[in-house]
Each structure stands twice: as C-alpha cells, then as structure tokens.
Structure 1
Amino acid sequence: MRKIFLATAAFLALTGMQNPPSGVADTPLSLWRLDCGTLDIGDLGVFSDTGLYSGEKKTLVASCYLVQHGDRLLLWDTGVDGALARKPKDAQGTFLKEKIVSQLQRIGFDAADVTYVGISHYHYDHTGQVADFPDAILLTGKGDWEVIKVWKPAEPRFRHWLSGGGKVEPLDGDKDVFGDGRVTILQMPGHTEGHQALLVRLASGPVLISGDQYHFTENREVGGVPSFNVDRADTLASHDRFEKLAKNLGAKVIIQHEPGDVGKLPAFPEAAK
C-alpha cells in the first residue's frame, strides 16, 4: 500500500493536478487577458482537413495572458510581431493595437518583471513579441524546441535563447509552474510537435486556455483538425484530454483565437481572480 501511495503522490506532483499544499493557496493569483493582435482569415477551410468551412471568412484574435502568482509572473504567448503596432493591417490582414510591454506598464509591470514566458507553440502569431522578454525563462514543449533550433523562420524571434543568452526549459511533460498545482502547462501535441495548453485554477474557478488546440467555437464543436497540423492522431488524442479536463474540472474554456471566448474574461486592465 505504501508503494501505491508513493507512486500516486509522485504522479500527482508531476502532473500538477494535486490540490495546493496547505497555506500555499493563500498566495494571490490573478489572470489578465492581453490584446496581442487580430487576424483576418480569408478562407477558414485551412482549419479543417475534412472540407468544412471552405470559403468562409472570420476575424480571429491573437490573445495572450498574464498570470501573477505572488511576486512572480507568467506571460502566456506573445502574439503577433510588435513592429505591427499602431500600423494599418498588413497584406495578410494582421493588426496590432498595442505592444505587450506597453500593456504591462499600464498595470505596473516592466518586461524585466516577467519570470516565465510560456509559449503554446512556435507559430508567428503566438511568438511575435517573445524577444521583448530576454530576462524570462522560456517554457516551451520539447518537441517544439527541437524544431525552433533548426527552423530558420523562428531563429530571429528566439535568437537570445538559442545563443545561450537566456534560460530555456524544454518541457517533456506537464509543468506545475509555481509548485502549488494552480498554474499548469499541459502537453497537448498535434497542432505542433510540442504544443501546449494552460490551466489556471483561480479562486473563482479553473480556466483552461487553449493555445491552438482549437481556433474557433465551431471547430471545437466538431473536434476539427486543421490541415496544417503536424499529427492528426496526436491532435485527436489532445482533443480528448482537453475536453475531459474541461468537463471534469468544470473549467471555463478560452479558445485563444475566438473573440467570444476571450470575452469571458474581464476586459483589460481588469483581472480575473
């Protein structure tokens, strides 16, 4: 029985699914939604490998999130390129109203205050401003890090960490970010090799932030798989895990590209608690 107990305890510690230790849950925990761009999609057909949505159009958001745990900060994703800020939409229909560093300053933080930058995956609309946070520890899926190391389009964004100038943790499993089970990076491969989602257990209830597990509500409803995902079977397995977590935890689901889901959280600069 002792062996079973120890094995169970080790598993729960590894996955970050355990209840917070006594007293640790008193550490203040806040979650801000950040505006990290909009994307005009001219043909939603690319988001299904079964022929759905062909020819349909939609404007998606590129949302990011800031988690404050006591005196430590996790920035989740970094949106589109900061060079686009306050400029007209580019040729691909991408627009950015305000850089992340400016938004952080409006709530009393500087870039150097960010302890961790967690990225759901390496795509440009999730990592466009990552270089603005060189002091942060980079938390990325191990499979994604292997791609970043050899994929030339990613090199300018991640040069600081690739050159050894910053610390990176390539994650090969779930990551209990602050050690109390309330902020957990979840491995959800399929969209990319090391794609990740984020679970934040606020006092008001758990919030499950998608990365690109899904891109919009209709795609989630049918369990759709984009044609550009790297592995269909892994995507479907991650869909299954995501949905079971959402149901079993009673979590509020935020699809990061879905304007309606982003609106479930307080408008910046207010924070969810």
Structure 2
Amino acid sequence: HPRGRALFDTGMGVRYRRELADALPANKFGLQWFEGMDVATRLRAIDVDPASIDWVINSHLHIDHCGGNAHLPNATVIVQRREWDAARDKPEAGLYEAQDYDTGQPIKAIAGEHDLFGDGTVRIVPTHGHTPGHQSVIVKLPGGEVLLAGDCCYTERNLDAMVQPRATVDFEQGRITMERLAQLRDGGTRILFGHDGRQWATVREGVAFV
C-alpha cells in the first residue's frame, strides 16, 4: 500500500520447529517444518526486507501466529484489546508465550473493526471464538475481496459443515463468526483458511497471488 506495508501473522518461532514437528504433522494441520521457515527468511525469499514492514496484524497471540513478531523490528503490532488482555491476564499454558508477543514493539490495541489505511483496502474485523479477541483481515484486491481467516475457522470443510474446532474458547461467539464467514463467502469474498493444507497447496506465493 502507498502508506506502508502490513503483514498478517508471523507464524511459529524458530525455537518451536523441532519440538512440534512430530506433534503437529503437516498432513493434519497444513503446517510445513523446514530450515529457513522463519518469517524474516520467507519475506526475503520474495524480495521483501523484514525491516520494511510497518504493521503486523496478529489474528491472535498464540505461539503459531505471533512467533516471528520480533523479526520485524520496525513494525507496530495491531491486536484486539481483549486479546491482549487475555494473553496477559489468563495465559493458556503453551499457547500464549510473552516472549513471542511482548517483544518491546509498539502495540496498537483496537476494539472491533479498524480500517488500516482509511480507504477500505485493508479492514480488520473481529472474529472472536477461537480466542477472546481473535481478528481477521479483509483485503480488497483488483480481483475481489479476500479474507485472511487466521484460526477463526481452520478449514473450508469446517465452514461447509458449520463445525467449530474443539480449540474454541467461546462457542457462541464462534458460531456468530462462522455465520459471518458464510455470508461473506456467499457474497463473493474468497476466504483463506489458516490451517487448510488442501487449500494452501493451491495458493500462489508472494505477489503472484495478487
């Protein structure tokens, strides 16, 4: 965007790779484990300097979504206020780790929807359920809108069947979120699911996606 670069989620921290590769197999969770998997290396692979990222939009503060925040030294982290409070006040063992999300970077804690650039091209929307303050992003591209789901709905099969993952802290909020996703999809919005290995196998990387 002319006003800056924003990145949605930063993946798993490098230190987790070896210990979780067996626990979270790629064929089940859509995760890939390899040397150079950190967000900084992946950005450089598409000719993006990690230091050029102005904003990180964390869907939530679990370790597999904010583990690379510290690799983006100039970024302001945008997170829902209720998610920030949940991570600090009611940490879930092994899921919220302060060393991943409390990195000394500026934090912009928001409440509800937020238009990042003020022109409708990048809209942050609350999608609570998986965590107390989960959020997703709707990006307006030349070919239409794309919603980056994060963990509010793991796979397209979840949405088709309207079945929430067991790892949901508020099933009522999760139901509301799923219904909103279904409405958006029916209206033509493409949804990229955070843990859908089948879908990600078909997605082009970097600017080729646009």
Q: Same fold (TM over 0.5)?
A: yes
Task: Give the aligned partner of residue 108 of structure 1.
Answer: 47
Task: Give the aligned partner of residue 189 of structure 2.
Answer: 251
| Aligned counterparts of 1:263 and 1:223: Cα–Cα separation in 2 | 23
| Aligned counterparts of 2:130 and 2:20: Cα–Cα separation in 1 | 26
- Matched residue pairs, number? 198
CA-CA distance at 1:269 after TM superposition: 4.3
CA-CA distance at 1:270 after TM superposition: 4.3
Deviations 1:61-89 (A, max 9, x none): xxxxxxxx13611111111122356x586
**Is the CA contact (8 Å cut-off) linking 2:61 and 2:101 kept in structure 1?**
no
**Is the CA contact (8 Å cut-off) linking 1:80 and 1:96 kept in structure 2?**
no
| Pairing 1:70–2:70 present | no
Deviations 1:181-238 (A, max 9, x none): 0111110111111111111110011111211121123221111122331111111011
Correspondent of 1:179 among 118, 125, 134: 118
| Aligned counterparts of 1:96 and 1:90: Cα–Cα separation in 2 | 6
| Pairing 1:260–2:191 present | no
Correspondent of 1:157 among 72, 78, 100: 100
Task: Give the aligned partner of residue 28 of structure 2.
Answer: none
Structure 2 letter corresponding to 1:156: Q
SS, match of residue 78 in structure 1:
coil
| Aligned counterparts of 1:239 and 1:89: Cα–Cα separation in 2 | 28
Whichever structure has more strand as a proportion of its residues is 1
SS, match of residue 72 in structure 1:
coil
Task: Give the aligned partner of residue 176 of structure 2.
Answer: 237
Instruction: Give the alignment's TM-score, normalised by structure 2.
Output: 0.85
Identity score, percent: 26
Task: Give the aligned partner of residue 35 of structure 1.
Answer: none
Task: Show structure 1 runs of 4+ deviating over 4 A.
Answer: none
| Aligned counterparts of 1:99 and 1:232: Cα–Cα separation in 2 | 32
CA-CA distance at 1:116 after TM superposition: 0.5
Q: Unpaired runs of 5+ in structure 2?
A: 26-31
Task: Give the aligned partner of residue 29 of structure 2.
Answer: none
SS, match of residue 194 in structure 1:
coil
SS, match of residue 173 in structure 1:
coil
Question: Which entry has the higher C-alpha Rg, 1 or 2?
Answer: 1
| Aligned counterparts of 1:90 and 1:110: Cα–Cα separation in 2 | 27
Correspondent of 2:72 among 128, 133, 148: 133
CA-CA distance at 1:264 after TM superposition: 4.5
Q: Unpaired runs of 5+ in structure 1?
A: 1-68
Instruction: Give the alignment's TM-score, normalised by structure 1.
Output: 0.66
| Aligned counterparts of 1:154 and 1:125: Cα–Cα separation in 2 | 10
CA-CA distance at 1:256 after TM superposition: 1.6
Task: Give the aligned partner of residue 65 of structure 1.
Answer: none
Deviations 1:5-55 (A, max 9, x none): xxxxxxxxxxxxxxxxxxxxxxxxxxxxxxxxxxxxxxxxxxxxxxxxxxx
CA-CA distance at 1:272 after TM superposition: 2.4
CA 228–84 in structure 1, closer or farther in 2 if over 3 Å, else same:
closer
Structure 1 letter corresponding to 2:149: S
Task: Give the aligned partner of residue 11 of structure 2.
Answer: 79
Structural RMSD (CA): 2.1
